[in-house]
Structure 1
Amino acid sequence: MSRNNMIVLASGSPRRAELLLQIGVEFQIVPADIDETPKPNELAVDYVQRMAAEKAVTVARLFPDRVVLAADTSVIVDGEIWGKPLDRQHAKVMLAGLSGRSHQVMTALAVFCGGGVALELNVTEVEFAVLTPEQIDTYIASGDADDKAGAYGIQGVAGCFVKHLSGSYSGVMGLPLYETAVLLGKAGIILEPANE
């Protein structure tokens, strides 16, 4: 990929950066600073798409001639939006609430290019095993729950909590690769296999 095709990633997430590197995308990281408060009675599906679009537009103001990729991930339990935990006690409540049941992980992607925003949405069903209080406490003490939607990151130890997954593993990590490739392709950035 040429230097001209370097995109701007409107996210400070190390997981998203890792996934983009995995598919050979060159990028510059410029996190978006926006208000992420859900609107009253806002549906989760509308919320994640609004957040991704606002992030993309906010960063695109600084880079109007570049392709800007943004994403937003939320854990959805019974229609309720679960973002990042406020503190470790909140993380404990979240994990106890996920224990032994299914939830959705929604990740919306937005690409700003040529003055417009294109959106894609990935929804993955995740079923957790029953977690013991000791498992929850140990996981929270590791610090891995601190900055993650729903208080867990599937790519770490919490992957052991997942009994069943239907959808996109990379979507649960925060950047569904199929939808990412589709949106970048629409913006003229075609992913090519790396030469070994």
Structure 2
Amino acid sequence: MIILASGSPRRKELLDQIGADFVVQVSEAAEESGDALAPQELVKRNAIAKAEAVAREHPELPVLGADTVVALDGHTYGKPCDKADACRMLRLFAGRTHEVSTGIALVCGGKVHADVVTTKVTFAPLTEAEICRYAETGEPLDKAGAYAVQGQAAVFIEKLDGSYSNVVGLPLHALARLAGKAGVDLYGNHGEGSAR
């Protein structure tokens, strides 16, 4: 069993999808933000901080931390603070290619294993009406970059270059590879997924 140090419903759904054996404990670690660090360094640091905070309480179990940001033109974009902020972000992404980076960290036995995955996402040009209509759904409000690739925003995406699950919030292939290197069993020794 592992502990997912995140309250993200998307990360929980992705771990359920692959049959992982896990419990959720939301990390109270403070997240860094802003443009002082490269996006890849920022998400890696935040993922490690989240995992380490929970691992201090549960040193006997592997802990998974993750953090996702969207980057464009040297700026990073996390979750919007309101609908107006969501619209601002979507206007910036419309008709352009941005990058989604997710840092993942597994802390087990006092050791930290971390990786970062970046995916390029190209949005179609969007009208102001399309942007406003989407913001009104409320879907963008708890998503990095103000959109859900697995939700209604799927119609905005012309092209995706890289890991789809990374854009959702947890790069599953990279996680499986990292778990193998760390000697962490994602499936609770049964390999058939959780019986929950």
| Other structure's SS at 2:139 match | coil
User: In structure 2, what is the Cα distance between the partners aligned to 1:90 and 1:69?
Assistant: 30
Give runs of aligned pairs for residues 172-191 of structure 1, distance below 5 A: 172-185=167-180, 186-189=182-185, 191=187
Task: Please provide the CA RMSD for this pair.
Answer: 1.3
Cα separation, 2, equivalents of 1:92 and 1:118: 36
Match of 2:28 among 33, 40, 44: 33
Q: Distance in 2 between matches of 1:73 and 1:56?
A: 14
Q: 2-side partners of 1:156 and 1:70: how far apart?
A: 23
In the alignment, structure 2 segments of 5+ residues that lack a partner are none
Counterparts of 1:129-140 in structure 2, within 5 Å, are 129-140=124-135
- Asked whether the 8 Å contact 2:35–2:75 carries over to 1, the reply is no
User: Of 148, 161, 171, which residue of structure 2 is paired with 1:166?
Assistant: 161
How many residue pairs get aligned? The number is 189
Q: Distance in 2 between matches of 1:51 and 1:42?
A: 11
Partner of 1:43: 38
> Which residue number corresponds to residue 143 of structure 2?
148
Quote the Cα distance in structure 2 between the aligned partners of 1:87 and 1:47: 23
Q: Relative contact order (alpha carbons < 8 A, sep ≥ 6): 1 or 2 greater?
A: 2
Q: Helix, strand or coil: the match of 2:13?
A: helix
Q: 1:54 maps to which residue? A: 49
Secondary structure of the residue aligned to 2:57 is coil
Shift of 1:134: 1.1
Tell me if 1:92 matches 2:53.
no
How far residue 26 of structure 1 moved from its aligned partner, in angstroms, is 1.4
Query: Structure 1, unaligned stretches of length 5 or more?
Result: 1-5
TM-score, normalised to structure 2, is 0.92
Comparing 40-49 with 154-163, greater Cα deviation is found at 40-49
- 1:72-101 deviations in Å (ceiling 9; x for gaps): 000011121111001111111000000000
